[in-house]
Amino acid sequence: MHIKLNTWQTFALFLPFVAGFTLSNIPNANDDFQMNFAVANFLSVLGLVTIISYQALLVLGFIKQCGFKSILFKWNALIPLLFFGLYLLYVIYFTFISPEHYHLKNSTGPMPNATFRASGWVILFFLVHAFITFYFINNQFVARGITRVTNVDKQDQLKDDFLLPMKRLTKASVWLIAAFIFLTTVMDIVRLKNGH
């Protein structure tokens, strides 16, 4: 089974990111800032789960259709999905079920040292793994798997069903990252000129 999305449908997968970006850049009172940021974070993680789910679905569908016995690549596609799924549940809990509110206090002394705990290293590892898997490993695995198929008609069908949607997803993510970098740069320059 596979879901083949056209260009606009692929860009629609990123709508939670766009909504989160918009929400995080709406001017608001200090009381609303924490909630807006928490909801924007939820939308961003929801967007990650959506796009990683779609890519994992394509990779697993490709493995099934070609009959490859590749447990390593199955798990490599599933690990980012499992991680972000659990992280989404974590964000939902601390955003909607048991929200945490931070009250800033004025401090007269030096700032305490920030510590990077073991959980931070684990999260960083899974983020880097998901990045490498999304942009490099899954695409290369499918592309190389297609070259091992001897039937030219089946190669074309596999490219159309799996490789092209994955490339479209990767290109859409690169375009949106570039757009966000451009927009945040312009907004920072405007804020700096207005004295905010």
Give the burial class of 181: count Cβ atoms within 10 A of its Cβ; 0-12 exposed, 13-18 middle, 19 or more buried. exposed
Which domain covers residue 175, as residue numbers?
9-100+119-193
Binned average pLDDT, 10 residues per bin, the chain of 196 residues: 83 93 75 78 94 95 88 93 94 85 62 74 92 95 93 94 95 94 89 77
Tokens of 101: 């509110």
Check residue 77 and give its pLDDT: 93
3, part of any domain: no
Alpha helices (H) in the chain, listed in sequence order? 7-12, 15-24, 30-66, 71-92, 118-132, 138-147, 152-158, 164-193
The closest of 162, 169, 180, 139 to 48, measured between CA atoms, is: 169
Domain count of the chain? 1
112, part of any domain: no
Tokens of 32: 């609303």
Check residue 109 and give its pLDDT: 62
Check residue 2 and give its pLDDT: 63
1, part of any domain: no
Give the burial class of 110: count Cβ atoms within 10 A of its Cβ; 0-12 exposed, 13-18 middle, 19 or more buried. exposed
- Whole-model pTM? 0.86
107, part of any domain: no
114, part of any domain: no
Check residue 52 and give its pLDDT: 96
108, part of any domain: no
75, part of any domain: yes
106, part of any domain: no
